[in-house]
Structure 1
Amino acid sequence: MTNEPRLILNNDSNNLFQELKTSIETCRSFYFSVAFLNFSGLQLLLDTLKEAETAGTKGKILTSTYLNFTDPEALRKLREFPAIESKVFVTDKTGFHTKAYIFEYDDFYKVIIGSSNITQHALKSNIEWNVEIISKEKDTFMDRVLDEFNQLWARSHEVDDKFLHDYEELVRNLEQTVTRQSLVYEKSAYVTPNTMQTRAMENLDRLRGIGEEKALVVAATGTGKTYMAAFDVRRERPKRLLFVVHREEILQKAKETFEYLLHNFDVSFGLLTGTQKDFEAEYLFANIRTLHNYYDSFDPDAFDYIVYDEAHHVTAPTYQEVFEHFDAPFTLGMTATPERGDQQSIFEQFDQNVALEVRLHDALEDDIIVPFHYFGVTDVDSVDLSDVSIDDIDEITKRLKVNERVDFIIDKMNFYGFDGEKRKGLGFCASLEHARYMAAEFTKRGVPSLALDGSHSGEERQEAIRRLEAEEDQVEFLFTVDIFNEGVDIPSVNTVLMLRPTNSPIIFIQQLGRGLRKHEGKEFLTVLDFIGNHAKTFLIAIALNGQRYYDKESLKVAISTGFVHLPGATHIEMDEISKERILTQIDQESFMSMKYLREQYQEFKRVRAGNVPHWLMDYYTYENAPDPVSFIKKKRTYLEFVAAAEKDDHLKVLTADETFEKTLKWLSSMLPLKRSYDFVVLRALVHKRLLTIGEAKQEMEKWVKEVPEESVDHAFRYVNQEFFDSREQERTPKLVSFDGEVAERTLLFDKLLGKEEYRAYLLDVLEYGLLRYEREFGSYNYGLPHFKLYEQYQMADAALMSNYRKSHSAFRGSGLLQNGDDYFLFVDLHKEADIKESINYNDKLISRTQFQWETPNSTTQGSERGKNILHNRERGIRLHLFLRKYKQIENGITEPYIYIGQGDAFSWQGEQPIEVQMELHHRLPEQLYTELTEKV
């Protein structure tokens, strides 16, 4: 008898890797037969195979030389496992396509047969179909599978020294002589934009379409910004182009990219540098230093399209003169690090028009950087950091300088291996002394290494990087403290060692990013993180999680599921000790305590070289920065939080102005924005006294496509306080008056804007709110109600999102609210005060597509409200579902609800309350379903 077959797919909640890992951990023995075996896939299984060997599990792995795709490195690695036999089916004219994974248990067999070989993409991210069948020992089907495997095994070759030597030589010679497939696409006519570039160009088109003349693209190094600009120019075909760069060394490369993609343009290309001045060139590529000396030789309208690469420099005086001189129909800024400079905002320079932002997880999803394989390894016992402050660098350095630890690091490094012929690694250390120690000790042990720090000249750094990248040079590692955190491009790096306690998610991501640049022949980056027992180990989980919002529960689920929600072939594996250590710390930490928030703030300040982050926008520019909304929730405004953290009397004096303080509190209370319309109106009125509905609609459509007239009107009436009750009016200064046609600034608003410091802080909140909304939700029109699937909301948000026309404070109820034909159902899945207690099973997710809900106790099937709920489809009633796992996770902190979309009633029973079963319009993502239903 055979159990029901099960389809295994790679998705955001599960993949074949997870199935293989679990099966290897629980079986008695296993037998694999795969056409291809790559090191990218085998590396993911190394820990699991090691643990299985320790547990006494035996295995056989059969692969082939079909198309010579199997890695010799993978075959060599398998020989390090005595309990695993490996063979190779040598193909000639016979193809070898099997993909079968057989597991033997005490009283049954499991077999997974499908499309996946052992490669990182096949195990984690490719579209693959694999079927799992569980079969009793005597089953005929299983006998045939085992018999076929044994026949192939008997016909296959042992992986001995001679075979490995011959096969390695063959593969090496093939790589040197065979043209790579990628060269097919080298003809410029066939080069097409990647996902990121396409999204950017669509948004640039949209912004130009509504009359905007400037835009900014924010994307990490290596994501193809120069190509994106060239694609956009190819489409726009300007008569004259100016491309401005900060560093002359990238100027020629940018020009060549444009010449390559625009090969059929009948235009001249030229340079403006210290040694070459092609003033008449139609497409001119200039470095800023030379351009600054000659910009007034050009008419302000000389160019139709201007590109500023590394645009975060445009706030500098040299750039400002050039930037202000030219008046092109369109100006594009591109940057990886949109830092504020001299208290000026780069976003203001480009009229707050962000055409695109690409952060780490976006780049992984779009496959514009390589995947990383992260291994969290528990540090050696002799390194004890439990009683030392993370800021005591001298003491941490002293404790990390242990010879036993160096041996341990090298041992783990050798076990996990790397991608490529030569290891090219970066090691991030606690201090300069630590970096020098590591370089010396590695070199002593036969791993030639160098230490680099800020005292080395640019030429010395470049020479060290050249030696690391050179295949023929022996240098394998550069150890540093933080000079490679950002801005240094070493594409061929294939190994990163995290050798210091992680005290900042920002720096962790910056350091990780140094190895993610794509490079010919590089499939993935190996990251080894040596996790000690210091108090802030859990920050690693926050850095890796990459979610827009997180709480204790979501973090714990991400850790326990191996961060399976991360896109692509990226792999995160922590050993059990590290996992338990992190989970314990998360349980013990209070994310909303002043102590924790102050530590976050101070660490962010250190990342900024000690500069006080006065503005919310300072946080916007760093990936994995703390969420400043947490600081606002604690003190009601960010300004008050900074005043308290810095003990700054001047800032305290600012907050003493009652009107300013109340205004700042009101604006801050709307963060993060659920819709952008209200802030668009307020920001426009900062710059002009009067605003018509038509002008407001045009402003809104810079941010959101096709805004409904009803929503424009609602936004005007909302900021005019028409939906405020008396208490809300008392605590919120009236900034706007609206007569049904035109909105006008009040005298109170004028007074606030008349003081420069007040104006700056108010604009900072408005700018941060709008840009964060654009980053998180893009320009998509989410309709009415304006909800986004799987985003967080409080009950009162439903009033704003559905254009409720009465006092929003009256929009309350016992979990069921109504606005016209829209019903909003707010449900706590766990009703108990103690979150460790069992679930209340009356309201529950039945599956990823069905939900069971109990109506309020007073509802009967025969009442009008009851009929609307039970027959919602026929009556045109939309049932919107909002779920949260617990009402509170931390004491005193109310959890928001998650919007899971609409549902339709299909079955019901009972009276007062009615138990209703609903079919969801959207199948819940597996990760969210797990978060909402499982306890960790």
Structure 2
Amino acid sequence: MVNFIQNLEASLYKGFIDQNYSEYGSYKPKLLVNNPKKNENVLTSLLEELDNCNSFMFSVAFITESGLATLKSHFLDLKQKGIKGRILTSTFLNFNQPKVFKELLKITNVEVKLTNLEGFHSKGYIFNNKNHYSLIVGSSNLTAHALKVNYEWNVKLTSHENGEIVHHFKNQFEEVWENAQTLTEEWIAHYEKNHTQIVNSSVIGQVTEFPTSYKSNSIKEALEIVPNKMQQAALQEIQAVREAGKNKGLIISATGTGKTYLSAFDVRRLNPERMLFIVHREQILQKAKSNFNRVLGGIDKDFGILSGSNKQIDSKYLFATIQTISKEETLHQFDPEAFDYILIDEVHKAGAKSYHKVIDYFNPKFLMGMTATPERTDDFNIYELFDYNIAYEIRLQEALEEDMLCPFHYFGVTDIEYNGETIDDTTLLTKLVAEERVNHMIEKIQYYGFSGKKVKGLIFCSRKEEAEQLSNVMNTKGYSTFALTSKHSQKERELQVNRLESGILDYIITVDIFNEGIDIPSVNQVVMLRQTQSSIIFIQQLGRGLRKHDSKDFVTIIDFIGNYRNNYLIPIALSGDKSQNKDNIRRHTKDTSYIKGISTVNFEEVAKKYIFKAINNSNLTEMKILKEAFAELKNRIGRMPYLYDFITNQSIDPTVIIDKHSNYQQFLLKVKAEVPVLTDYENKVLTMFSKELLNGKRRHEIILLDLLLKQEQVEYGEYLNQLKASDCLIDDATMVSVQYIFDLSFFTQTYKIKYGEKAIIALNEDNSFILNEEIRESLDLNHHFKNMYIDIVKSAKEKNKLYQSHEPLSLYEKYTRKDACKLLNWNNDESSTMYGYKTKHQTCPIFITYDKKDDLESSVAYGDEFLNQDVLKWFTRSNRTLGSKEVKKIIEAKENNIEIHIFVKKDDDEGKDFYYLGKALPDKNTVQQTVMKDENKKELPVVQMNMVMEQSIDSKIYHYIKSAKNELNKH
């Protein structure tokens, strides 16, 4: 309690009196805003407080379904912990829709009351913690826009439980609460009957998301239809492809982003004599024709259909199914030069013979292909078909950011358990459709709900039999569902889709026939009851609900995460991060602020546990995965990829490849790429560059290697000028360290042998740098070696953009013990004997594994723990006392001019890398000698102290690391 008060006092002094006050305090007042560029929003802070409180009180005038959806899974997790809350809201301006009150009633651990206080317009969130209160007060109502997108000002304050300010807030809340009416079903029925919204939602800063619509009834109106910002950019890039003399182009565009309209705009710009638009299903034809008509205008007879039932082959703009136009008798009715412009929709299907027949027959001035999923699981290379000309590409994240898609709220929810075992991909069918599981599923889909007046849902199952039996069971429980599988005809599929859209059906239950090529914009709920097979299929199924429609403000995605081996694919797919880095995936599971706009990603606590388990049990860098990434990238760019290509195409992180292989040449040989032979020494040099410099953690070595590519020797002064121009440190210790890296004296004997044993770069007597003769000769004579050298330099330059150059270490980036020795300018790599910490060369790096394994012997299982974002409770090694020389050095670090650097990793599954959290100094008032017991229960002396961080730790990484403790042992 004393520590808390001191901390709070220091926080208040810094916050309200002197921002330069040096004493630590983790409860500083903070302005909360929504800043998309920095991935910051009010919601993140609200959720952090909510997830760590003992109870809460919200006083908010306005609540939307979408705003409430952002908190639903968190309320459920709190319920499991027995934590309750209260929400006070109103009927002010009749803004709150009747349905949102129905949604509030579903949250059984939250009591809701309504005030009829005139002009009730409060926006305050109060969180009760163990011995203090947190307050978030300002302009944000409980709406998704206010919490994630709108320009809002909110202040976060912390108060002791006896503080006057919190009592003002609590008293105000209780006073209104006492006279407010409890939310009941009867009250909602009465409100619904009399509800009329008397103001436009924009009046109160809540802009409702309506779909972009194109309405045109005439040529004049058609000309007035203009492309949105993203489509304008796409049109410019398509035109650039044509101006470059290319006659083919590929559009990669996420489902729902308006590919058809984009192609129509391009046709309008190009104004061809005749155009052919090819689709793979007849039901798409009419809609495509209608959309083109709206954009292009003109008379009806200009627009024709070529299908099984229509043969309007003379039309200026012809819309054809591939099945019909690929028939010999149909195809040969056309002159090969008949169409100036040919467009192929869902072109990833073009591996089929029918497509090849048509593409080979016609000779248009321009051929355009459109797809959302160019990555294929078959051997067909769609990029090659279009001569590797990607005219434009927009993926899910960008489309959400540009507000081209319907916002979504994704919920990774817990599947049911049988005898302590969670549903997985081996579960018997009888269990998949058992009464208990179906009831569990219904409970979840009702709790998380949907946007709109009536549910229009798709449920994806793992087996046909499951879909059929689930439909039967749901129909007995009052739902109207239909199981559609591959055995149903196209006509039957269209009929059932129409029944869903018209409201006759609540759900269509299917396996995977709706992964793509189906357009049901009114879908407002997608339920996934199957294993995540691949990121591609996951995004395809997610995409079924992402088209905008005026009947919904968002789509609800409910994903039943069982004990599936591939669960880790979900955060990979949602974040778009293909690096194959386990820690990145963990962070994307814990911190989901990467999702743009008002969309959110939420994992129930138990579901999160299963994802962490799947990550731990998976081998993300197995050769099969690396080979697939290599093949996919080779297909995309039409040649053997270099490491730099993996970076620029957002594929696997090159360092992941190098971690498993000594250098890229060795990897290329493993995947049987045809590459020239390298000498043993050339291999060793590339290994040194790859293992030590490719990560880009220090710019100095990269700059020198780059200079020596262009000239045989580099004057010392010229090198210094280049470093200064790049804002690099040029102190003597750093310059000596660079020399020790290149003459290999920094490395242990094992590494010297691995790296070729001779100095790579030497500093001559005339004060100039030169490469050794053998490397220089290889650069002159071996073109392949030179390319590999250049590739590493280019890749290292790109990766170095993550790091600042005027400091040896960059906050929140990851480093090994070896990196620390190098970047803190130690003469040698002493990582093997550093263990938890070591003081040398006026520096003391401290390495902490936050979540230590249960089987770790007691003498090294220290209780290191963050007390808050400014203070780390830290323990020395065992068998150390206050009189130990190494301990005295650390306690007197400030007086001895020793810099203490804190490195932390979540657990050992993260490998050798630690997050750098900054510098720290010990709080001498907290230094004390204590004891810990070894495996034989013998007491050993140890010293503990509080380390005060120079800078408060970023809240996202702080909460991520703090969540490590027993993450997998919960529940």
TM-score range, shorter chain: 0.5 to 0.7
CA distance in 1, matches of 2:332, 2:834: 68
Partner of 2:157: 133
Partner of 1:564: 593
Offset at residue 207 of structure 1 (A): 2.6
CA distance in 2, matches of 1:663, 1:280: 64
Offset at residue 244 of structure 1 (A): 1.2
CA contact (8 A) 2:456 2:506 kept: yes
The alignment partner of 2:59 has SS state of: strand
The alignment partner of 1:514 has SS state of: helix
CA contact (8 A) 1:616 1:638 kept: no
Greater shift, 157-166 or 135-144, is seen at: 135-144
Partner of 1:360: 396
The alignment partner of 1:493 has SS state of: coil
Q: How does 1:178-577 map to 2 (within 5 A)?
A: 191-234=225-268, 236-246=269-279, 247-263=281-297, 269-274=302-307, 275-277=310-312, 279=314, 281=316, 283-288=317-322, 304-314=340-350, 316-320=352-356, 322-324=358-360, 326-338=362-374, 345-382=381-418, 390=425, 393=426, 396-397=428-429, 399-471=431-503, 473=504, 475-561=505-591, 563-577=592-606
Offset at residue 225 of structure 1 (A): 0.7
Report the residue type matching 1:261 in the other structure. Answer: V
Residues 249/729 of structure 1: CA separation in 2 closer, same or farther (3 Å cut): farther
Partner of 2:89: 63
The alignment partner of 1:24 has SS state of: helix
Report the residue type matching 1:524 in the other structure. Answer: F
Residues 843/522 of structure 1: CA separation in 2 closer, same or farther (3 Å cut): farther
CA distance in 2, matches of 1:228, 1:557: 36
Partner of 1:578: 607
CA distance in 1, matches of 2:424, 2:777: 47
Residues 320/106 of structure 1: CA separation in 2 closer, same or farther (3 Å cut): closer
CA distance in 1, matches of 2:490, 2:551: 28
The alignment partner of 2:547 has SS state of: coil
The alignment partner of 2:418 has SS state of: coil
Partner of 1:35: 61
The alignment partner of 2:545 has SS state of: coil
The alignment partner of 2:369 has SS state of: strand
Greater shift, 23-32 or 407-416, is seen at: 23-32
Partner of 2:44: 18
Report the residue type matching 1:564 in the other structure. Answer: S
Report the residue type matching 1:364 in the other structure. Answer: L
Partner of 1:79: 105
CA distance in 2, matches of 1:76, 1:624: 43
The alignment partner of 1:338 has SS state of: coil
The alignment partner of 2:264 has SS state of: helix
Greater shift, 508-517 or 9-18, is seen at: 9-18
CA distance in 2, matches of 1:451, 1:637: 51
CA contact (8 A) 1:666 1:732 kept: no
Report the residue type matching 1:20 in the other structure. Answer: L
Residues 548/172 of structure 1: CA separation in 2 closer, same or farther (3 Å cut): farther
Report the residue type matching 2:314 in the other structure. Answer: F
Offset at residue 79 of structure 1 (A): 3.0
Offset at residue 119 of structure 1 (A): 2.1
Residues 927/378 of structure 1: CA separation in 2 closer, same or farther (3 Å cut): same
Give aligned-pair identity as a percent: 34
Report the residue type matching 1:379 in the other structure. Answer: D
Partner of 2:752: none
CA contact (8 A) 2:346 2:370 kept: yes
Offset at residue 165 of structure 1 (A): 1.7
CA distance in 2, matches of 1:887, 1:116: 33
Residues 57/453 of structure 1: CA separation in 2 closer, same or farther (3 Å cut): closer
Offset at residue 100 of structure 1 (A): 1.9
Residues 737/385 of structure 1: CA separation in 2 closer, same or farther (3 Å cut): closer
Report the residue type matching 1:18 in the other structure. Answer: T
The alignment partner of 2:373 has SS state of: coil
CA distance in 2, matches of 1:398, 1:826: 64
Offset at residue 551 of structure 1 (A): 1.5
CA distance in 1, matches of 2:560, 2:51: 24
Report the residue type matching 1:224 in the other structure. Answer: G
CA distance in 2, matches of 1:267, 1:831: 79
Structure 2 gaps of 5+ residues are: 1-8, 16-28, 203-207, 216-220, 633-637, 697-769, 806-818, 848-868, 870-901, 919-949, 966-971
CA contact (8 A) 2:373 2:536 kept: no
CA distance in 1, matches of 2:185, 2:434: 37
Residues 58/267 of structure 1: CA separation in 2 closer, same or farther (3 Å cut): closer
TM-score (norm 1): 0.64
Report the residue type matching 1:462 in the other structure. Answer: E
CA distance in 1, matches of 2:953, 2:387: 38
Partner of 1:44: 70
Residues 664/524 of structure 1: CA separation in 2 closer, same or farther (3 Å cut): farther
Match 1:6 to one of 24, 27, 30: 30
Report the residue type matching 2:445 in the other structure. Answer: M
1:434-464 CA-partner distances (Å, limit 9, x unpaired)? 2233222222333333323222222222233
CA distance in 2, matches of 1:737, 1:54: 60
Partner of 2:736: none
CA contact (8 A) 2:254 2:394 kept: yes
CA distance in 2, matches of 1:569, 1:451: 32
Structure 1 gaps of 5+ residues are: 608-613, 645-650, 676-721, 744-764, 774-781, 794-811, 817-824, 849-882, 901-918
CA distance in 1, matches of 2:154, 2:656: 44
Q: How does 1:858-869 map to 2 (within 5 A)?
A: none
Residues 932/547 of structure 1: CA separation in 2 closer, same or farther (3 Å cut): farther
Report the residue type matching 2:381 in the other structure. Answer: S
Q: How does 1:117-196 map to 2 (within 5 A)?
A: 117-136=141-160, 141-142=165-166, 145-146=169-170, 148-149=172-173, 152-153=176-177, 157-170=181-194, 191-196=225-230
CA contact (8 A) 2:211 2:550 kept: no
Partner of 2:18: none
Offset at residue 210 of structure 1 (A): 3.2
Report the residue type matching 1:76 in the other structure. Answer: K
Residues 370/396 of structure 1: CA separation in 2 closer, same or farther (3 Å cut): farther
Offset at residue 163 of structure 1 (A): 3.4
TM-score (norm 2): 0.61
Residues 926/157 of structure 1: CA separation in 2 closer, same or farther (3 Å cut): closer
1:97-134 CA-partner distances (Å, limit 9, x unpaired)? 43222334575543322222212333234443221123
User: Paired residues, what number?
Assistant: 736
CA distance in 2, matches of 1:560, 1:184: 33
The alignment partner of 1:7 has SS state of: strand
The alignment partner of 2:265 has SS state of: helix
The alignment partner of 1:446 has SS state of: coil
CA distance in 1, matches of 2:212, 2:531: 45
1:297-329 CA-partner distances (Å, limit 9, x unpaired)? 766666554433233345545444543455554
